[in-house]
Structure 1
Amino acid sequence: MDAIVAIVTLGALVGLLAMGLWVSLALLAVAALSVTLFTHVPMGQLMASAGWSSTASYPLTALPLFIWMGEILTRSRLSAYLFDGLAPWMRRLPGGLVHVNIIGCGVFAAVSGSSAATCATVGRMSVPELKRRGYDESLIFGTLAGSATLGLLIPPSIILIVYGVSAEQSIARLFIAGVVPGLMLIALFMGYVMIRATFSQNLVPAPEPAIPFAQKLVLSRRLIPVVMLIVGVIGSIYAGLASPTDAAAVGILLSLIVVGLSGDLSWATFRDGLYGAVRTNCMIGLIVAAASFLTAAMGFIGLPANLASWIGQMGLNAPALIAALTLVFIFLGCILDGVSIVILTTAIILPMVQAAGIDPLWFGIYLVVTVEMSQITPPVGFNLFVIQGMTGANILRIARAAFPFFLLMLVAIFLLVVFPGLATWLPGAMLGS
């Protein structure tokens, strides 16, 4: 019976998604089908209670605020400030100004929380500038697509908020846990670019003349607005002065100030940013509510418990379980976006993960790094679509350019498995166990 339930549920979900139905509507339809066929629970009552309990969460209020902050900054000249401030320090490194893509994405990720917003904002300035200077297109596209995924990991991460609410984990601890893995990915990306540029010197133009140190400092003043945002938002959380929700409100205020001082704030940008935030948050909220309804339906059927029991009977140790889940998440990343993957799988997979003795905090960071791959894997790779929209380049060509960074993320997962302290040490050191 359990096998029949699992096959019908999974088959219905895959079929609806393959038909192009919205993820939220597909989840609602499968949940309704499961409740009707396999339980005697009143469907309307279960849908209402599950939807309300999942969305009426105070930690979740940080989500629309951070989304709005990212929408405001995307419509500003922050990308130009990033390029002008970082370029003097990057130009003499092997790989040259391509490193601006990597560092710029890492910095913007610390104030936006969104991978697509990071890709669009940084790429809008860096792609034409790097092309003009003679850098190889594949290197430009690959570094931008891969590094923009840092928007999912480096706090304030929208997807970490979603995981924290779904898994009932502290969002502040998750934010802190994402710092070291984020820096590790930046180091891996920069190391790859340095090695590739060293052995394939035709990918980058000749090194530009050195700039005096004093002039570098003068040009770096363009980074002051970005630093102010990072300190105001992330610093207030790390110092224990504000909750993630409070910090998100501070971030909106600082973003409006930064955009206003740069001369980019108008009624049109304010309105468009607010509309964009509302649309994105409504999309995520509907997915959260629908996934909660499906999770509740699966709970009444007993599928998660039986699945966890089945996995336990297989005798898989923690590394083997993580290897199997990595393959599952890579497959899901080819057909679903990152938020949908986290919401859809967390409630089902977390019991078996905890049964295997895996720390839910560590698992959240692992899950986000794995989901980052979905941003650069066709056919549903949002960063690939963003770059295609900016440049008009062939989507498969962009995907090939991003593939080395997909492999580097696999290396990052391996390092997280071998050295779990990369994700758990900093939260323990700053907030205690």
Structure 2
Amino acid sequence: MVEGLVVIVLILAILGFLASGVWVGLALSGSAWLVMELFSSRPAGDAMAISIWGASSSWTLTALPLFLWMGEILFRTRLSSDLFKGLAPWLDAIPGRLLHTNIVGCAIFAAVSGSSAATCATIGKMTIPELRQRGYPDALILGTLAGAGTLGLLIPPSIIMIVYGVSANVSIAKLFMAGVLPGLLLALLFMGYIFIWGLRHPEQNRPSSTEKTSFMQKLYASRTLIPVVLLIAAVLGSIYSGMATATEAAAVGVVGALVIATLQGDMSLKVFKESLMGATRMFCMIALILAGAQFLTLAMGYIGLPNALAQWIASLGLSQFGLIMVLMVFFIVMGCFLDGISLVVLTMGVLLPTVEAAGIDLIWFGIFLIFVIEMAQITPPVGFNLFVLSGMAKKELSYIAKVSIPMFLLMIIAVFLIYYFPGIVMWLPQNASGV
């Protein structure tokens, strides 16, 4: 009875704070303080100080601002146009043709960005005008871009993987490895959809050029991909080989991004300041959410809510598959109202004991969680990729959400695939050396 009252008060408090326009991090902290004052004998101020200090002093968290800064630097370089120039000759001969640049470009940029919104914005800025000019339908351009932009969360280095790793106390390096094959799987599913569309609509299978290009010409055009490939190899290779931790690899990525920007002639004092301030603003927002969620987790522990929730879910008698399905629906619904980072830090303290009790590996669960958060990126009303594309393409949010439905369904298929074939997630972290 008490737990039910606590849940009602907590939900009403969070919704009330958010509806009044309070920042998410402060809404979480305020709700935690309220329930501790009402339902716990522990002084709320003391608990707040301890939990916020603990959340902000984690060395693992250092990787987050570094990866953010790396993405901000690359966002301001010629990387996007170079990606198009390097990829277009290879993709022009297959059904769907240049629509595949949305998928491949996002997959490549995701490996140096870590952010879904940054991936979507950077690739979209380059492909939308190019593909429109060549007569491809807007529904396919924007739908595939909205879906492929979510690869920024799944293909490492991923910001949300770092947040989950800190929240769940699991190896971020192993999470990075676990995301590689599922990320490629999802990219292939998206490309398969475009391939089938291309076969069914040959009249819209527009080549970018009537001229045939030889293998050597394609290879020469791909020279523009060399900087980003080298950066990916430096960042991910140092982690997978065991030569560097995720934090050290992030530092390597920042140095590499600065070198690329300088060599391309894009680095100036103005760009340096803008990239640094952009990363700082983003990290401050995320850090405030993490601190608030840490205090909320502590508060819920004191009032016994996680144990009560775990016992309630256990009393339902769900199988492991049933639990995964219930959690998928839960996260998709919650993702309609909360951003991915808030969703992770808000729920992990409550759900992880239940997930562990069901025998679900926390590395696998992290990838599953990122899949369902990806779905939330393209579902209204709080779908960040929808907002990004709406502004860039001058289209209604509802239109972009509608044309993204096939990508949403493909993500659900991907969740079933990683459930029935968990080796897709676990093979790399179990077999890589040095971690």
Question: Shorter-chain-normalised TM-score: which range?
Answer: over 0.9
Query: Could you give the per-residue CA deviations for residues 102-152 of structure 1, whole angstroms, max 9, x where no partner exists?
Result: 000000000010101101111111111111111111111011110010000
Query: Could you give the per-residue CA deviations for residues 302-343 of structure 1, whole angstroms, max 9, x where no partner exists?
Result: 000111111112111110001000011001111111111111
What corresponds to 1:18 in structure 2? 19
What corresponds to 1:174 in structure 2? 175
CA distance in structure 2 between the aligned counterparts of 1:131 and 1:235, rounded to whole angstroms: 37
Query: Could you give the per-residue CA deviations for residues 197-256 of structure 1, whole angstroms, max 9, x where no partner exists?
Result: 211335442574431101000000000001111011111111111111111111111101
User: In the alignment, is residue 6 of structure 1 matched against residue 30 of structure 2?
Assistant: no
Aligned residues: 433
Q: Is the 8 A contact 1:136 1:204 kept in 2?
A: no
User: In the alignment, is residue 185 of structure 1 matched against residue 186 of structure 2?
Assistant: yes
Structure 1 residues 206 and 213, CA gap change in structure 2 (3 angstroms): closer
User: In the alignment, is residue 114 of structure 1 matched against residue 115 of structure 2?
Assistant: yes
State the TM-score, normalizing by the size of structure 2. Answer: 0.97
1:23-422 aligned at under 5 Å gives the runs 23-206=24-207, 208-209=209-210, 210-422=212-424
CA distance in structure 2 between the aligned counterparts of 1:238 and 1:299, rounded to whole angstroms: 36
Aligned residue type for 1:344: L
Aligned residue type for 2:177: I
Q: Tell me how far 1:6 sits from its aligned partner.
A: 1.2
Q: Which runs of 5+ in 1 are unaligned?
A: none
Q: Tell me how far 1:421 sits from its aligned partner.
A: 1.3
- SS at structure 1 position matched to 2:182: helix
CA distance in structure 1 between the aligned counterparts of 2:380 and 2:19, rounded to whole angstroms: 14
Q: Is the 8 A contact 2:32 2:299 kept in 1?
A: yes
Structure 1 residues 286 and 207, CA gap change in structure 2 (3 angstroms): closer
Q: Tell me how far 1:285 sits from its aligned partner.
A: 0.2
Q: Tell me how far 1:386 sits from its aligned partner.
A: 1.0
Query: Could you give the per-residue CA deviations for residues 70-91 of structure 1, whole angstroms, max 9, x where no partner exists?
Result: 0000011100111000111001
CA distance in structure 2 between the aligned counterparts of 1:249 and 1:318, rounded to whole angstroms: 39
Aligned residue type for 1:414: F
CA distance in structure 2 between the aligned counterparts of 1:260 and 1:323, rounded to whole angstroms: 48
Q: Tell me how far 1:388 sits from its aligned partner.
A: 1.5
CA distance in structure 2 between the aligned counterparts of 1:59 and 1:202, rounded to whole angstroms: 52
Q: Which runs of 5+ in 2 are unaligned?
A: none
Query: CA RMSD, aligned part only?
Result: 1.2
Query: Could you give the per-residue CA deviations for residues 349-402 of structure 1, whole angstroms, max 9, x where no partner exists?
Result: 110000011011100000001101111111111111111221211111111111
CA distance in structure 1 between the aligned counterparts of 2:28 and 2:216, rounded to whole angstroms: 57
Aligned residue type for 2:394: G
CA distance in structure 1 between the aligned counterparts of 2:224 and 2:70, rounded to whole angstroms: 19
Q: Is the 8 A contact 1:106 1:150 kept in 2?
A: yes
- SS at structure 2 position matched to 1:364: helix
Identity of aligned residues (%): 55
Q: Is the 8 A contact 1:173 1:431 kept in 2?
A: no
Structure 1 residues 297 and 199, CA gap change in structure 2 (3 angstroms): same
Q: Tell me how far 1:15 sits from its aligned partner.
A: 3.1
**110-119 or 198-207, which moves further after superposition?**
198-207
**41-50 or 13-22, which moves further after superposition?**
13-22
Q: Is the 8 A contact 2:241 2:434 kept in 1?
A: no
Aligned residue type for 1:212: S
Aligned residue type for 1:50: S
- SS at structure 2 position matched to 1:159: helix
Q: Is the 8 A contact 1:376 1:402 kept in 2?
A: yes
CA distance in structure 2 between the aligned counterparts of 1:182 and 1:19, rounded to whole angstroms: 37
CA distance in structure 1 between the aligned counterparts of 2:433 and 2:401, rounded to whole angstroms: 40
CA distance in structure 1 between the aligned counterparts of 2:196 and 2:299, rounded to whole angstroms: 51
- SS at structure 2 position matched to 1:378: coil
Q: Is the 8 A contact 1:92 1:208 kept in 2?
A: no
Aligned residue type for 2:300: M
